[in-house]
Amino acid sequence: MKWMKGMGLLLISNILIMITLSLTVPIVINVILPMFGVDVRGSVDLTTLVWAGMFGFGGAFISLAFSKQMARAMLDCQQITQPRSQAEHLIYGSVQEIAQRLHIKMPEVWVYNSPDPNAFATGPSKNNSMVAVSTGLLQNLREDEVKAVLAHEMGHVYNGDMFATTILAGLMNTFVYYIAMWVRRFFAERDQAALGFGLSILVQIIVSILASIVISWFSRRREFGADAFAAKVYGKDSMIAALRAIDRWVNRAQFQYATQDALATMKISGRSGGFMSLFSTHPPIEARIAALEEL
């Protein structure tokens, strides 16, 4: 099956990354760093690093490989294969047109029941992806605005944003696991295993929070790129109009998008402010509109 092929390629990539780490890390530790007066020999356990990498990258890649299946399982959705209504023709035709322009395989097209106007794209690669739109998007946006949103999601697909985010998440997870495992080993060697276990959990929580800030920042940058892609395809005015329409709906419904939303990284809209904006996967709509107007 094609999804198994995609998963296999991702797992092979994961293995190659770990092999590369196992070859380069000893050189960095034993040769390069001492040349600059930094000696961490004996402090860095390569075996621990490899295990941390396997957990960090392995979990991230497995999540990516099954991202389409997980998204469908979490939503009340139906796939469009033979468009019947005008709305289905609009969605399917727009995705098909953009895919043909980009010379990539047509993504799966889905519609899910939700009152909020939103859309997302996910999948292991640009030739193995899905694009889904909410019923609220179709009900609250004009045709040109819906097409702009679809172009935004196709921008994520073509730019490989899901894969790039997975690589970053795997790297961040590796650091989280390694630091936590190092703390546990450090105290275990001093016959303080219980203390080390408790501290490792605390450290893992703190470092995970810091890592999520980095991942969220990266996600926000990718949103600007997807907006710019939509502007190239259908013009910036349509994308700006779509964002304003979404913002009007959010204000009217007084709907706050929670950072804990399981599909937050997939959605086109988002609202945040203050300290919590560091954990937002999407920039404020006004910032996105300003960026589009400068194009």
| 10/67 Cα distance (integer angstroms) | 13
> Residue 59 domain-assigned?
no
For residue 175, being part of any structural domain is answered with no
- As given in the structure block, the two tokens for residue 74 are 């979490």
223 inside domain: no
Task: Give the chain's end-to-end CA distance (angstroms, integer).
Answer: 42
Q: Report the domain count for the chain.
A: 1
Give the range of the structural domain holding residue 79, as residue numbers without chain letter: 75-157
pLDDT digit string, tens, across residues 236-274: 999 999 999 988 888 877 644 444 343 444 455 555 556
**Average pLDDT of the chain?**
82
Is 275 within a domain?
A: no
pLDDT for the residue 129: 94
Q: What is the pLDDT of residue 70?
A: 85
153 is catalytic: yes
Query: Are the C-beta atoms of residues 67 and 169 closer than 8 Å to each other?
Result: no
Q: Is residue 106 assigned to a domain? A: yes
Helix, coil or strand: residue 242: helix
- Cα 213 to the chain's mean position, in Å? 13
Task: Choose, from 97, 153, 223, 293, the residue flagged as catalytic.
Answer: 153
Residues 6+ apart with CB under 8 A from 57: 14, 17, 18, 170, 171, 173, 174
Beta bridge partners of 125: 128
Tell me, yes or no, whether 84 lies in a domain.
yes
**Parallel, antiparallel, or unpaired for β 128-134 and 119-125?**
antiparallel
- Per the CB < 8 A criterion, the answer to whether 131 and 154 are in contact is yes
Residue 48 lies in a domain: no
Q: How far, in Å, CA of 178 to CA of 50, rounded?
A: 9
Q: pLDDT by residue (tens digit) across 199-211? A: 888 988 898 888 8
Classify residue 138: in a domain, yes or no: yes
- The mean pLDDT of 163-170, rounded to a whole number, is 87
CATH at 143: 3.30.2010.10
Between strands 128-134 and 108-112, the pairing is parallel
Compute the distance between CA of residue 56 and CA of residue 50 in angstroms, rounded to an integer.
Answer: 10
Q: How many CA atoms lie within 13 A of 273 on its CB side?
A: 3
Residue 165 has pLDDT above 80, yes or no: yes
170 close to 61: Cβ distance less than 8 angstroms = yes
**What pLDDT does residue 257 have?**
47
Tokens of 127: 């030739």
